[in-house]
């Protein structure tokens, strides 16, 4: 098994609504990212703590990408783990 390294950071996300006074949710926007937990998150933002565990092999001349899906059932409790693979 190859060696891995962790990177932990905090992302603040805000809802992104359609304009024109219509409060339909279009998606989310990442509005801030920090190495440490912010003392005062932005008003209306959700703070998400992320830890990426990356194998050493990723640092070969590649450009790794990942999409992490956070299910609603995990919104309050527990760490979220994401497996990242080559999409090809």
Instruction: Give DSSP secondary structure letters for 53-66.
Output: EEEGGGGSS-----
Instruction: Report pLDDT digits (tens) over 59-85.
Output: 766 566 677 777 776 565 445 555 555
Are 70 and 60 in contact by the 8 Å Cβ rule? The answer is no
pTM: predicted TM-score of the whole model, two decimal places: 0.58
Q: Is the model more confident about 23 or about 43?
A: 43
- Asked whether residue 27 carries a pLDDT value surpassing 80, the answer given is yes
Domain ranges of the chain: 4-74
């Amino acid at each position: 098994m190859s060696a891995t390294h962790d990177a932990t950071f905090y992302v603040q996300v805000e809802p992104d609504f359609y304009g024109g006074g219509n409060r339909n949710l279009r998606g989310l926007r990442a509005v801030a990212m920090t190495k440490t937990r912010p003392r005062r998150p932005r008003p209306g933002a959700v703070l998400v703590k992320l830890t990426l565990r990356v194998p050493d092999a990723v640092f070969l001349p590649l450009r790794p990408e990942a999409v992490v899906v956070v299910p609603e059932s995990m919104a309050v409790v527990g760490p979220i783990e994401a497996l990242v693979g080559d999409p090809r």
